Amino acid sequence: MNSSDLDDLDLFQEVTIENNSDEDSDIEDYFYTCHIRRLPPPHRRQPPTEEKPVNFENYIESHYGNSIKILDRNTFSEIKLPVIIVFNHFREKCSHHSKWLDMLHKAGLQYKDQIEFIVADIYDIDIIFPNHNPLNFFCASEKPEKETPHIFALNPKKHLYQHQDVMNTTEENLLELCENLLNGSLYPSQQPRKDDGKLVKICVHENYEEMITKSPRDILLVVAWDDYEICSMLKGLNYEKMAQEIQQYNVDLIFINAAENYVPMELRKFSYPVEYFIPHEDKQCFIHSKGYTTPRSLMAFVRDNLTPQGQRLRQQEVAARKFHHFKLPDNQKMDLESLEDYLFAKYPKTMKIFHNLPTTPMCALIFLMDFKNKGIEYYLSYLQTIHQMAASKAFYSLDFYIGDLCQINQILPQWYCKDLEIHNNGHREFFIAIDRQKWKYKFDANVLKLPSALFYYTQKIYLSTLFYSEAPETGARQMIKMCTAHNIRHLITTSKKDIFLTIYRSDCERSSKVLEYLEEIVGQDIKEMDIRLIKIDANLNSIPIEYSWSEYPIHYYVSVSHRDENTCRYSISLDVSKEEVLSFIAKQK
C-alpha cells in the first residue's frame, strides 16, 4: 500500500471545514479546507482482490516431485542426512515464492542423495526454536507474498546454522551453502589446545560437548570474538585470577572464540564478550551477565547464581524466554472482572478486557463474546488464539480487546444494535476491527481458526489494505449526491437535513431499477419532504459496518435528529415501486 494514501486521508480528515451557506454544495462535501490553502481530495483506493487459495502439498508435489519434501514434524528428528530447511508463508502464499522453491528444487536434484531438502510453513518454525511463539517470526510490515524466507542448515548432529543475507541469495549461493554443509565449514573449529596448566580452559567447537555439555561442574563461560589473549588485553581483565577465585566454588572458567568456532545459536549475541553462568544440573537453565563487566561484578555474578535466589532468578529468566500458551486456572469459575485480574497477573501486556472504545492505539481488534450466558471456558480456544497473537508483539500500536456481547452499544449506534438483536440468527459473538483510519470492519470466527489466520487478518487491518474507495467527485451540484467511502461518514454526521441513503452494486441488474426510480423522485416530491438523497456503490467503496448488508441494493433513512436511535433500514423487494419508497420516506418524517 502506498503510504501517501494514508497521509492524504489523514490530512483530508483532520482539517476544518469553511463555513458555507449552501450545505448541499459539492465544494463543502468534497473539500475539507483550512483558511490557508485547499487540500486535494484523497486518491482512489482499489478494492482488495480475492486470491484463489493454492493447496501447499499439491503445489509442491506437482511442481517439484520428490526433490523437495514438506516438513513432517513427527519424523524430522529422525532424519540422518544433513538438512537444508526453508521457512516462509508457504501454506498461504506458496505460488508467490516460486523463486525460492525453484532454487531449492535445482539444489535438491544435484544433492538428492546427500542432503534432505525440506520446506515448511513459517508457523512451523518452532521446530527449530522450541518453546518460542512462531508468530514472533512473522513480519508485520511486509506482505506475506513478498517476504524473504528463513534458511537453516543442520548437520547430522543437529547443529543449527542460519543462512544470512537471504535477500541477495542466488542459485550459486545456495549451492555453496550445500557444499559448506557437506564439508563441515559451516561449523568451524580451532585446534584444541594442549593443557598448559592454566586455570582458564580454552574451548573449541570440537570439544564443546566434552567441556561444557557433559561437564559435571558449574561453568562461567566467556564467549568472545577474539582469542583469549587478545580479549584479555583489550578488556583489561585478568581471567586467570578470576578463575582462581571462583575455583573455591567448584566453578570452571571456560573461554571460547565465537569468530573461529561454531557456537550454539542460543549463546550468540550481537555484542561480545558475553559471560554465561551454566549450572551443572541443567545446561539449558543458563543466564548471562548484564551491564558493564568488571572483575568485581563477575565475581558477584557467580556468587549470586550459587544461591537459591540465584537459581530462582535463572528459572524465571528461562521461563520468560519461553512462550506460554493461555490456560485458565483449574477448578475456578471466572467472570470478566476476575479474568482481567488473572490476565494482569499471569499474562501481562497481551490481550486486554474491553471497557471503552480506545482512542489509542491507532488500531484495535475487539472480540465481543457471550460470556454472561456461556461462560469464559466456552471460548477458551478463541482466547488461546487471541493471546498467542497479542503475545507476539508483532504490531506496534495495535491492541487486542475481549469483552461481553452486551458492550456492542459502546461501539456501534443504538439503532444498529437493536436491529442486530432481531437479525442475529443465534450468533452470539461479534468481532470488530479498527484500522488506522478509524474505519471499522466486522469479521467472523474463521479468522480465529488458526493463529496464523488471525495474523494475516490483523496485518490487513494494520496496513489498512481492506479499505477501498472511489475518489470524491467535484463539479456541479447534484440532486442525488454520489458519495464515497472517503466522505460518507462526514456527509452523514454533518448533514442539516434528513438523509435517504441508497447503497447499490453497479454490476447488479436490480440496482439499475433502483437508480431509475431515484431519478424520478428527485424533483418536487423530495423538495417538499426536505431531505437529502445520497448514493454509494458498494463495489467500489467500503461500507461502514452499520450500513452494510448481505444483499444490495438497500435504503437507509437517517434522521438528522437522534441519528443514533432513529435510523431505519428499508429492504428492497423485487417489485418495489416509486410510490412505496415515497410512502416509506413520508412515514419517517
The single-letter code of the amino acid at 315 is Q
The span from the CA of 155 to the CA of 182, in Å, is 8
User: In this structure, which CATH number among 3.40.190, 3.40.50, 3.40.30, 3.30.519 belongs to the domain 336-463?
Assistant: 3.40.30
Are the CB atoms for 540 and 470 separated by under 8 Å?
yes
Q: Is the pLDDT of residue 181 over 90?
A: yes
Q: What is the pLDDT of residue 398?
A: 92
Place of cell 461501539: 411
The single-letter code of the amino acid at 407 is Q
The span from the CA of 571 to the CA of 38, in Å, is 39
User: In this structure, which CATH number among 3.40.30.10, 3.50.50.60, 1.10.240.10, 3.20.20.140 belongs to the domain 201-321?
Assistant: 3.40.30.10
Enter the pTM of the model: 0.87
Q: What is the pLDDT of residue 431?
A: 96
Which pLDDT band, with edges at 50, 70 and 90, does 13 fall under? very low
Q: What is the pLDDT of residue 310?
A: 92
pLDDT digits (tens, 9 = 90+) for 183-226: 999 999 999 998 888 999 999 999 999 999 999 999 999 999 99
Which pLDDT band, with edges at 50, 70 and 90, does 41 fall under? low
pLDDT digits (tens, 9 = 90+) for 259-277: 999 999 999 887 788 999 9
The span from the CA of 433 to the CA of 441, in Å, is 5
Are the CB atoms for 29 and 481 separated by under 8 Å?
yes
Which pLDDT band, with edges at 50, 70 and 90, does 302 fall under? very high
pLDDT digits (tens, 9 = 90+) for 347-356: 999 999 999 9
Which pLDDT band, with edges at 50, 70 and 90, does 32 fall under? very low
Q: Is the pLDDT of residue 15 over 60?
A: no
CATH architecture for the domain at 481-588 = 3-Layer(aba) Sandwich (3.40)
User: In this structure, which CATH number among 3.40.50.700, 3.30.70.20, 3.40.50.10860, 3.40.30.10 belongs to the domain 56-183?
Assistant: 3.40.30.10
Q: Is the pLDDT of residue 19 over 70?
A: no
Closest CA to 30 of 538, 499, 475: 475
Q: What is the mean pLDDT of residues 32-42?
A: 49
Are the CB atoms for 402 and 383 separated by under 8 Å?
yes
Identify the residue with better confidence: 358 or 29.
Answer: 358
> How would DSSP label each residue in 370-433?
-HHHH-SGGGHHHHHHHHHHHHTT-STTEEEEEEEGGGGGGTS-HHHHHHHHHH-TT--EEEEE
DSSP-derived secondary structure letter, 298: H
Which pLDDT band, with edges at 50, 70 and 90, does 39 fall under? low
- Domain boundaries for CATH 3.40.30.10 within the chain: 56-183, 201-321, 481-588
Q: What is the mean pLDDT of residues 319-346?
A: 93
CA 476 to chain centre: 44
Which pLDDT band, with edges at 50, 70 and 90, does 70 fall under? very high
Residues above pLDDT 70, as percent of the chain:
90
Q: What is the mean pLDDT of residues 82-92?
A: 97
The span from the CA of 485 to the CA of 41, in Å, is 12
pLDDT digits (tens, 9 = 90+) for 125-173: 999 999 999 999 999 999 999 999 999 999 999 999 999 989 999 999 9
Q: What is the mean pLDDT of residues 452-460?
A: 96
Are the CB atoms for 495 and 560 separated by under 8 Å?
yes
Are the CB atoms for 563 and 413 separated by under 8 Å?
yes
- Residue 262: which residues within 8 A CB-CB, separation 6 or more? 159, 161, 186, 187, 188, 189, 205
> How would DSSP label each residue in 126-151?
GGTSTTS-GGGGS-SSS-GGGPPPEE
Are the CB atoms for 221 and 278 separated by under 8 Å?
yes
Which pLDDT band, with edges at 50, 70 and 90, does 477 fall under? low
Residue-averaged pLDDT of the chain = 88
Q: Is the pLDDT of residue 424 over 70?
A: no
